[in-house]
Amino acid sequence: MKKQFQLEDLDCANCAAKMEEAIKKLDGVQAASVSFLTQKMTVEADDGQFDAIMKKIVKVCRKIEPDCTIVL
């Protein structure tokens, strides 16, 4: 399953790159991209585990960029 999410308050391109790398390392994630310019994140992950994977993604992103919010 591939989904795109709007990001709010993503402050820098470096943080976007760090978030993308961390998301790609999570189990069940096939692909991920985080765009600072468009403030969007695209995630491709296992259908059956998508909700659980998204919870992990939110935690990982909050550690890297505490002010950033993923609009689910």
Of 37, 33, 14, which is closest to residue 23 (Cα–Cα)? Answer: 33
Domains and CATH numbers, the chain: 2-71 (3.30.70.100)
pLDDT tens digit sequence for 19-53: 999 999 999 999 999 999 999 999 999 999 999 99
Sheet holding 69-71, edge to edge: 29-35, 40-45, 2-8, 69-71
pTM of the model: 0.94
Per-residue b/e over 6-20, b at no fewer than 16 CB within 10 Å?
ebeebeeeebbebbb
- List the structure tokens of 64: 């890297």
Q: How crowded is residue 72: how many other Cβ atoms within 10 Å of its Cβ?
A: 11
